Structure 1
Amino acid sequence: MQVSKRFRRAAAGAVVAVACATAGGASAQEKITVGALRFTSHAPTFIAYERGYFKAEGLDVELKFFQAAQPVAVAIASGDIDFGVTALTGGFFNLADKGALKIVGGLFAEQKGYKGMAIMASNKAYAAGLNKPAKLKGHSVALTQVGSSFHYMTGMIAAKYGFGMSDVSLKPLQKVGSMIGAVKSGQVDAMMMVPHVAIPLDRAKAAKIIGWMSDLGDYQVTTIFTSTRNTTDRQVQVKRFLRAYKKGIADYRAVMLNQKKDPAATEAMVKLIHKYVYTDRPYEKAAPGIKAGAVYMNEGAALNVGDVKRQLEWFKAQGLVKSAIGYQDLIATGYADMINVPK
């Protein structure tokens, strides 16, 4: 791993500052609100909440759920929530440029050998020949919003297979549920989808998995972020939050990335996750999708800085971020390991 001198100095200074701030110890329970989506990729949030890791750090957490990633960034910038765990978006980068947001860690990442985001085709499009990602050119793709992570993933596929964004028809539908409905009905040809949704859809023959984003290379799918003010004025709180969150990640990795090792522990964790994911389904029907949807989580909330830089550059190239903001401006160091840092 290569680390720039500038980034090393910043990280070292941040660690010292946070360590000094933490020395004061936890005070009475502080109320904070955490934004999340009802995805298995947000499981460490639910684990840390249910197992009392936040409370042990003096944090009284309220969970607030969203239908898409971009509104989470807006909610932090406006002060409606304190921490968010979602994908990076054009909206995030533009709010960060205004000094509102900072990334403090990484979470879900595409890793070879793990089923992360699936690339899906409608049955209608599949029957017409859309049976692999290389054939996405000329087809429609469902998104939540322009500038969303789904938009970025479409760009990754286009770059990999040598066609332009103008060669696909983007269909912003605002909500993940609307994306699923549009592909199931054949109104839209394709979408990228989290595995706990994609695998059951494929098994039910409601749509077809035609590829995996993990085959396209590194991708830091979700990050942990907060307000810039929190990283400057409330370092103790951020440190406590990350310490609790890392315990949730460790629990998840120990069980869900090797489910055969301890079936009883797997069952217990799936039941915990089911309190937040597929809540409209009985456990027996929800469990297979939750198990199949176990994605790779970076150990210790490590952040792939090089991929954050790559994502920012793509959004700039698309005209969705118009400022000269650099990747260093997006990140508050000292809370989690920084990996793949550009020279």
Structure 2
Amino acid sequence: MGNKKCLFFVLALILILLTGCNAKKEEKMKIGLLPISDALPFYVAAEKGYFKAEGVNVELIRFESAVERDSAIGAGEIDGAVGDILAVAALYNSGAPAKIVSISLGETGKEGRFAILSSPGSGIARPEQLKNVPVAISTNSIIEYMTDNLLLGQGLQQGEIIKEAIPKIPVRFNLLLEDKIKAACLPDPMAAMAESKGARLVIDDTATNLSQTVIYFRTGYIDSNSQSITKCLKAYARAAREINENPSAYVDLLVEKAGVPREALTVFTMDHYPVPQMPTKEQVDKVVEWMFEKNLIKKQFSYGELTRSDLIPAK
């Protein structure tokens, strides 16, 4: 009888351990990040143990390109990501729907700035001087979206906006400074670095706030893990507040994890990170309309299709 009891307890213990392991595996949340400053609060939350404190098991996975990141989320290899509204609409269009649960940067135009700059020797100082002048961009991207909207907003016609495809930001940056191209659209901190090295700022979006970086998750994952996402955003908010209160404490992490060149920090002020909140309907609709006009998506997806506003944690 004693041996039977012992065997029973051993089997029960094994069952408990296996159940615990399976639960832990199911709870893991995989988030894809590019080496950009927008991702810093996620790295701070992980390093400080804020995700763990909220009871959510988050794994941060680095990708070197947006294509790799969104291929992974489309295949279900990751659950969420930091990217832009264009990425979310493109995923929805491809049959792998995802929803925005918060902005990451872009509460104001000073966060996540994009700028069109002219080369040191071009003599171009005003937007109207870019009429029929090639502007280096990456096509079908937030960079092209920003270029179109910044220049259309200054009175140029669509046919007067000429774009030259140079996808890689470092290449675009170097060609601009070498006067091998006359103009380029760049995001900070590379835009700030280019200006400090002699490029001329023609126009940026600080006054118009055209761009938002967003946090988004697969729709299927949201449906079964909504509480975990809210816990994740709560930990993220805690990290964002800490960065805003003492940004100098996170410079090394910004360089190591977010891929910001240390040299850039001499001319680039670290972004203010807003607490979780939704992009406006106008901001989302504007991107969707642009994508539809360029035949990048098959229909104009609604704000409700691309967002999930009820996961924001209470302040």
TM-score by length of 1: 0.74
Cα distance, 1:249 vs. partner? 2.2
Aligned pairs (5 A) from 1:45-84: 45-57=42-54, 58-67=56-65, 69-84=66-81
State whether residues 316 and 322 of structure 1, in contact with CA within 8 Å, keep that contact through their aligned partners in structure 2: yes
Matching residue's letter, 1:204: K
Query: Are 1:158 and 2:144 counterparts?
Result: no
Aligned in 2, Cα 1:229/1:180: closer, same or farther, shift over 3 Å?
A: same
Matching residue's letter, 1:153: M
Flag structure 1 segments of 5+ consecutive residues without an equivalent. Answer: 1-26, 256-264, 338-343
State whether residues 109 and 210 of structure 2, in contact with CA within 8 Å, keep that contact through their aligned partners in structure 1: no
Question: Quick one: distance in 2 between partners of 1:218 and 1:286?
Answer: 22
Matched residue, 1:119 = 116
Flag structure 2 segments of 5+ consecutive residues without an equivalent. Answer: 1-22
State whether residues 117 and 200 of structure 2, in contact with CA within 8 Å, keep that contact through their aligned partners in structure 1: yes
Query: Are 1:94 and 2:90 counterparts?
Result: yes
**Which among 295, 303, 307 is matched to residue 327 of structure 1?**
303
Matching residue's letter, 2:242: D
Aligned in 2, Cα 1:274/1:160: closer, same or farther, shift over 3 Å?
A: same
Query: Are 1:316 and 2:279 counterparts?
Result: no
State whether residues 179 and 191 of structure 1, in contact with CA within 8 Å, keep that contact through their aligned partners in structure 2: yes
State whether residues 41 and 294 of structure 1, in contact with CA within 8 Å, keep that contact through their aligned partners in structure 2: no
**Which among 19, 24, 33 is matched to residue 36 of structure 1?**
33
State whether residues 231 and 238 of structure 1, in contact with CA within 8 Å, keep that contact through their aligned partners in structure 2: yes
Cα distance, 1:115 vs. partner? 7.6
State whether residues 226 and 311 of structure 2, in contact with CA within 8 Å, keep that contact through their aligned partners in structure 1: no
Cα distance, 1:278 vs. partner? 4.5
State whether residues 51 and 232 of structure 2, in contact with CA within 8 Å, keep that contact through their aligned partners in structure 1: yes
Aligned in 2, Cα 1:46/1:171: closer, same or farther, shift over 3 Å?
A: farther
Aligned in 2, Cα 1:112/1:147: closer, same or farther, shift over 3 Å?
A: closer
**Which among 126, 129, 133 is matched to residue 127 of structure 2?**
133
Aligned pairs (5 A) from 1:280-299: 285=263, 287-289=265-267, 292-299=268-275
Question: Quick one: distance in 2 between partners of 1:228 and 1:266?
Answer: 33
SS at match of 2:206: helix
Question: Quick one: distance in 1 between partners of 2:238 and 2:127?
Answer: 36
State whether residues 38 and 65 of structure 1, in contact with CA within 8 Å, keep that contact through their aligned partners in structure 2: yes
Cα distance, 1:157 vs. partner? 1.4
State whether residues 109 and 205 of structure 2, in contact with CA within 8 Å, keep that contact through their aligned partners in structure 1: no
State whether residues 88 and 221 of structure 1, in contact with CA within 8 Å, keep that contact through their aligned partners in structure 2: yes
Aligned in 2, Cα 1:113/1:286: closer, same or farther, shift over 3 Å?
A: closer
SS at match of 1:191: strand
Question: Quick one: distance in 2 between partners of 1:329 and 1:114?
Answer: 26
Question: Quick one: distance in 2 between partners of 1:278 and 1:115?
Answer: 15
Aligned in 2, Cα 1:277/1:184: closer, same or farther, shift over 3 Å?
A: farther
Matching residue's letter, 1:117: F
Matched residue, 2:238 = 247
Q: CA RMSD in A?
A: 2.6
Question: Quick one: distance in 1 between partners of 2:265 and 2:29?
Answer: 30
Matching residue's letter, 2:203: G
State whether residues 82 and 213 of structure 2, in contact with CA within 8 Å, keep that contact through their aligned partners in structure 1: yes
Matched residue, 1:187 = 180
Question: Quick one: distance in 2 between partners of 1:324 and 1:266?
Answer: 39
Aligned in 2, Cα 1:170/1:160: closer, same or farther, shift over 3 Å?
A: same
Aligned in 2, Cα 1:115/1:131: closer, same or farther, shift over 3 Å?
A: farther
Matched residue, 1:306 = 282
Aligned in 2, Cα 1:191/1:296: closer, same or farther, shift over 3 Å?
A: farther
Between the two proteins, the alignment pairs up a number of residues equal to 288
Cα distance, 1:169 vs. partner? 2.5
State whether residues 36 and 258 of structure 2, in contact with CA within 8 Å, keep that contact through their aligned partners in structure 1: yes
Question: Quick one: distance in 1 between partners of 2:107 and 2:126?
Answer: 19
Cα distance, 1:103 vs. partner? 0.9
